[in-house]
Amino acid sequence: MTAAPAVKPGEFRFSAIGLAHPHIDDQCRELIAAGGELISVYDDDPVSVERFRRKFPQAAPARCEREVLDDRRIRLVAGAAIPCDRAALGVRVMRAGKDYFTDKTPCTTLDQLAECRQVVAETGRRFFVYFGARVSPCALFAQRLISDGAIGRVVQVIGLGPHRLSAANRKQWFFVKRQYGGILCDIGIHQTDMFLSFTGNPTAEVVASQVGNYASPEYPELEDFGDMQLRGPNGATGYHRVDWLTPDGLGTWGDGRAIISGTEGYIELRKNIEIAGERTGDHLYLVDRTGERRFDAAGLVEVPFFRQMIRDCLDRSETAMTQAATFAATEIALTAQARAVRVGDSST
Amino acid sequence: MTAAPAVKPGEFRFSAIGLAHPHIDDQCRELIAAGGELISVYDDDPVSVERFRRKFPQAAPARCEREVLDDRRIRLVAGAAIPCDRAALGVRVMRAGKDYFTDKTPCTTLDQLAECRQVVAETGRRFFVYFGARVSPCALFAQRLISDGAIGRVVQVIGLGPHRLSAANRKQWFFVKRQYGGILCDIGIHQTDMFLSFTGNPTAEVVASQVGNYASPEYPELEDFGDMQLRGPNGATGYHRVDWLTPDGLGTWGDGRAIISGTEGYIELRKNIEIAGERTGDHLYLVDRTGERRFDAAGLVEVPFFRQMIRDCLDRSETAMTQAATFAATEIALTAQARAVRVGDSST
């Protein structure tokens, strides 16, 4: 479903800094679709800038980061830097008086998160993160069903986020733990955001977490498996697994699932594919007191995230996602990562 | 798939003691189908005996338990007593020189388990348990695929065992914790057996476990939610959830699932139903390097458990399931139950 742009032409100009991950293309494309105007780009790698400008020729190449930060026309900087550099970039952007929209994961350490929180408080700027559940039609439809009471009180969320490794297409930083931050930090953060939003908790305790490398001895710093168990103040629990183990035979990059159990029913999301079935994604199954139903969520909900983010920047509102929720999801993922027990090695 | 009986008529006679749970009907029916001859029955509730004898008129009603235990024709006693009484019954059966086949859960405390182990060692008798994965075509087919290396090294097992409460049809002991033992003990034990067999571990550590009552305040001793995280010596991990939350609208008693992730592929079991799809069970999905496949496992494997159990009694072999594995699955479930953190209560 499409919707009208959030602004008139020229009302919301933004720039891109940090092109390390191709997610930046999606971030910019969606901001443009929502009415934003991409006017410049900077990265210290000219090859990345050239690649980016083939897709977005309207983005003028800046000579340095400062040129973008000093450009008073720009309201927001979108970025997908190397994960360990994202927080510092955000700090510079916010100190320059602009809002920031980074690819996940926004931070790789709890110290970085503390600094981001402090700079948000000091500057009043916004620090947005590109979380999967905020732009997924089936996740948004699930959220609506839950809010409407379709499954009663939420008891538990199970989230599975398998990904295909595709090692040959990855940049070097992808395999360096200090740079990507660990698997729970890097891709587990989608899960922590999902847990908080589906269960309606402002935060969560990490009950247990694990990481390991089962299938990639050639990349010793890669974690190809991670999981975490969460518990929220309202009594709901979560179990979340992420991995880089998607086999080549699957028709998409990962068979993402979620099962949300409630006191009066449950919901299953098959986000990307039906195994040996439909190639499309966004399938939602609802089982309640009256029966079993299957929905193709893509046609049933719109994704207001990017339009809301633009309005939030202009109106200083919090409709896309609250700043507190963004940082809470980040903190839980970083905490789970920091405490994770190493698994996968045989002890016998 | 059917198979020839394991014995000739008259070669293997058995009896039933303890009719508290209707699983006893399945236990007896399958033993008879495998060639066993049911010759007597005892329970201290004459109404239960009468109900049982309407299905199994060949079972002569014994006047007391001793009459069965002293009957030298009987090789094995099958039972589904109240869970807290199953171990003691097994001890009496084995001390009387007979093998024992109990419904799960076999024990409700670690002390009971210790006594069962000791009496098995003393008497040389067998203590069999009716575990779901041992008689499930899709679980057996998964086991075969795993053994054949279809998904590489097993990284993780996720097992979901939701059940319908149907409170009106339950006997009083079902709601008394001392008698049913807690949810991880009662139905979690299917999961611990599955974890050990799918991952090829002789035992497992309980990383974390939780139990709670979310939807049944009128039954304060009922646990309607439980989960546990396991870790085996070979490095494989497990996450297992059981509950009594199946909504009335589901076309069967529970949407049992398992997802087995390996280094080279994964398997999903949809044990009982396809939501909003087929009403049959035993669906197995395999995703590997070459593609995605769906199997109807019911037609692809036979279930040798009962024939093997009868042969094990006669030959003193261990083909159905080893005694060590039976007790290991029991110990893990009881340990998870004993250590479980209580959840479900709001802390805010």
Question: What is the tens place of the pLDDT at every residue in B20-49?
Answer: 999 999 999 999 999 999 999 999 999 999
Q: A292–B276: do the CB atoms touch at under 8 Å?
A: yes
Distance between CA atoms of A68 and A62, rounded to whole angstroms? Answer: 7
What pLDDT is stored for residue B5 in this prediction? 87
Q: B90 in contact with A at a CB cutoff of 8 Å?
A: no
Distance between CA atoms of B133 and B279, rounded to whole angstroms? Answer: 20
Cβ neighbors of B188 (< 8 A, separation 6 or more) are B161, B226, B228, B240, B242, B333, B336, B337
Average pLDDT (A184-190) is: 98
Distance from CA of A305 to the nearest CA of B (A): 29
Distance between CA atoms of A93 and B101, rounded to whole angstroms? Answer: 69
What is the pTM assigned to this prediction?
0.97
Q: A274 in contact with B at a CB cutoff of 8 Å?
A: no
What pLDDT is stored for residue B1 in this prediction? 52
| pLDDT, tens only, A58-81 | 999 999 999 999 999 999 999 999
Distance between CA atoms of B309 and B102, rounded to whole angstroms? Answer: 12
Q: B216 in contact with A at a CB cutoff of 8 Å?
A: no
DSSP B298: G
Give the length of chain A.
348
Is A1 a residue whose pLDDT tops 80? no
Distance from CA of A302 to the nearest CA of B (A): 24
Distance from CA of B28 to the nearest CA of A (A): 34
What pLDDT is stored for residue A346 in this prediction? 74
Chain A contacts of B229, Cβ < 8 Å? 208, 227, 229, 239
Is B347 a residue whose pLDDT tops 70? no
Strand B283-287 with A60-61, pairing: unpaired
Nearest Cβ partner for A291 among B234, B249, B344: B249
Q: A200 in contact with B at a CB cutoff of 8 Å?
A: no
Instruction: Pick from B196, B269, B292, B339 the residue to mutate for testing the A interface (most A CBs within 10 Å).
Output: B292
- Least CA distance to B348: which residue of chain A? A233
- Least CA distance to B216: which residue of chain A? A263
What pLDDT is stored for residue A2 in this prediction? 58
Q: B292–A251: do the CB atoms touch at under 8 Å?
A: yes
Is B151 a residue whose pLDDT tops 80? yes
Q: A275–B287: do the CB atoms touch at under 8 Å?
A: yes
Buried b (16+ CB within 10 A) or exposed e, B16-50: bbbbbbebbbebbebbbebbbbbbbbbbeeeebbe
Residue B230's DSSP bridge partners are B206, B238
| pLDDT, tens only, A262-288 | 999 999 999 999 999 999 999 999 999
Distance from CA of B173 to the nearest CA of A (A): 23
DSSP A31: H
What was the ipTM of the complex prediction? 0.96
Instruction: Pick from A241, A286, A289 the residue to mutate for testing the B interface (most B CBs within 10 Å).
Output: A241
φ, ψ dihedrals at A340, nearest 5°: -60, 135
CB atoms within 10 A of CB A5: 16
How many CA atoms, within 13 angstroms, populate the side-chain half-sphere of residue B293?
Answer: 13
Q: Is residue B248 a contact partner of residue B169, using CB atoms and an 8 Å limit?
A: no
* Residues of chain B numbered 150-189 and touching chain A (CB < 8 Å): 152-153, 155-156, 158, 160, 162
Nearest Cβ partner for B348 among A234, A251, A268: A234
Q: At what angle do helices B23-33 and B46-55 cross, to 10 degrees?
A: 40
Average pLDDT (A39-44) is: 98
Distance from CA of A281 to the nearest CA of B (A): 16
Alpha-carbon separation of residue A325 from A57, A193, A195, B63, B321 (angstroms): 35, 8, 11, 67, 50
Distance between CA atoms of B193 and A34, rounded to whole angstroms? Answer: 52
Q: Is residue B242 a contact partner of residue B161, using CB atoms and an 8 Å limit?
A: yes
Task: Determine the distance from the C-alpha atom of residue B9 to the mean position of all C-alpha atoms in its chain, rounded to a whole number.
Answer: 28
Q: Is residue A86 a contact partner of residue A18, using CB atoms and an 8 Å limit?
A: yes
| pLDDT, tens only, A223-260 | 999 999 999 999 999 999 999 999 999 999 999 999 99
Which tokens go with A51?
């690649």
* Neighbour-count burial of B56, counting CB atoms closer than 10 A to its CB (0-12 exposed, 13-18 middle, 19+ buried): middle
Task: Determine the distance from the C-alpha atom of residue A270 to the mean position of all C-alpha atoms in its chain, rounded to a whole number.
Answer: 18
Nearest Cβ partner for A276 among B241, B247, B285: B285
Q: A225–B259: do the CB atoms touch at under 8 Å?
A: no
Which tokens go with B57?
């008129």
Distance from CA of B266 to the nearest CA of A (A): 8
Strand A265-270 with A257-262, pairing: antiparallel
Distance between CA atoms of B149 and A258, rounded to whole angstroms? Answer: 27
Average model confidence (pLDDT) across chain A: 97
Distance between CA atoms of B310 and B313, rounded to whole angstroms? Answer: 5
Alpha-carbon separation of residue A126 from A33, A67, A75, A82 (angstroms): 21, 21, 11, 20
DSSP B150: T
Specify the DSSP element, H or E, that contains B128: strand B127-130
Closest CA to A104 of A158, A171, A180, A48: A180
Distance from CA of B90 to the nearest CA of A (A): 33
Distance between CA atoms of B44 and A166, rounded to whole angstroms? Answer: 64
* Residues of chain A numbered 288-347 and touching chain B (CB < 8 Å): 288-294, 341, 343-347
Closest CA to A20 of A217, A172, A237: A172
Lowest mean pLDDT: which of A1-5, A69-73, A342-346, B75-79?
A1-5
What pLDDT is stored for residue A348 in this prediction? 47
Nearest Cβ partner for B225 among A155, A255, A265: A155
| pLDDT, tens only, B262-320 | 999 999 999 999 999 999 999 999 999 999 999 999 989 999 999 999 999 999 999 99
3-state secondary structure of B103: strand
Is A345 a residue whose pLDDT tops 90? no
- pLDDT-based confidence at B11, cuts 50/70/90? very high
Distance from CA of B233 to the nearest CA of A (A): 5
- pLDDT-based confidence at B2, cuts 50/70/90? low
| pLDDT, tens only, B174-186 | 999 999 999 999 9
Chain B contacts of A345, Cβ < 8 Å? 235
